[in-house]
Amino acid sequence: MLYYSFLIDSVCILYYKSAFNLTLPENNKLYPYCNLREQVKAEKMNRLSGRVAVITGGASGIGKAAVLKFAQEGARVVIWDLQTEKGKETLAEAEKISPGHDFMEVNTTQLAAVEAAAAAVVEKYGQIDILINNAGITRDATLAKMTAEQWQQVIDVNLTGVFNCAKAITPFMVEKGYGRIINTSSVVGLYGNFGQTNYVATKAGVIGMTKTWAREFGKKGILVNAVAPGFIATDMVAAMPEKVIEMMKSKTPLNRLGTPEDIANIYCFLASDEASYISGTCISVDGALSL
């Protein structure tokens, strides 16, 4: 029995060594409890080592989960948000995981402000490798009741803000010949939703921009993808009536809400070298809601 255990572990070690391009120390024999498993674990927790990531809307919710995930994976993270107090709190949490992150109060609807912020990040860190366009708002109303102001507010943040960030940051990525852009869409951008004309328009538009930029920047080493979350248990959702939350769960085949970490994990995967042949796609993370 001990022999078979040794054999299985030896095969696993050889697989991990090949799959993760690891190097065994000279004194590390093929033995079941060698340090290779710890090395594999360390490698998987440093998928973004040496990368600099800008995450918009990173002060709370899905954005905050992404900030903490990226910090765990070795990236230096710059939070762009207008929620200064929450942004600094998230920064403090990220600093406990690893040092070298930053928070900047940035209004992504203003191109000049975004360009100045991008230049400041490059001046401090020397590069921007990853852009997570996560910031977004809602101003829900049926078409009959929606005001022009409600329409424009959502367009400005959810669509123009994404354009501004990509416009300001892609030149630095092109210069380096490397970049990862992940845009946050939504399942409603794929299928529509009652009372969300403005929000749906922006999230569908984000998918269109994602596919266009994937074509424009692919030969320049920049991958562009979108993520379409379903019902996610953010603070905003938690404030809804329990009846509404239960309705959301019942509509989802997995019978639960997603977590911000579920989305952050996909962001991280798409930002890593593990997704080096994925571009121009939109990944639904919705517990099979869209089936």
Q: Does 56 fall in a domain?
A: yes
- Residue 78, number of CB atoms within 10 A of its CB: 27
How many domains does the chain contain in total?
2
199 catalytic per annotation: yes
> For 172-181, what is the mean pLDDT?
98
- Residue 2: its pLDDT value, please? 45
In a shared domain, residues 155 and 37: no
Report the C-alpha gap between 266 and 271 in whole angstroms. 8
* End-to-end Cα, the chain, rounded Å: 46
In a shared domain, residues 94 and 37: no
| Average pLDDT for the chain | 90
Which residue range forms the structural domain that includes residue 28? 1-44
User: Model's pTM, two decimal places?
Assistant: 0.85
- Residue 38: its pLDDT value, please? 54
In a shared domain, residues 40 and 82: no
- Residue 7: its pLDDT value, please? 47
In a shared domain, residues 7 and 60: no
163: which residues sit within 8 A by CB, 6+ positions away?
209
In a shared domain, residues 32 and 103: no
Q: Does 290 fall in a domain?
A: no
> For 73-79, what is the mean pLDDT?
98
In a shared domain, residues 40 and 53: no
In a shared domain, residues 61 and 194: yes
Per the residue annotation, which of 125, 199, 267, 277 is the catalytic one?
Answer: 199
Q: Is the pLDDT of residue 211 over 70?
A: yes
In a shared domain, residues 108 and 14: no
**H/E run at residue 228:** strand 222-229
- Residue 5: its pLDDT value, please? 47
In a shared domain, residues 27 and 53: no
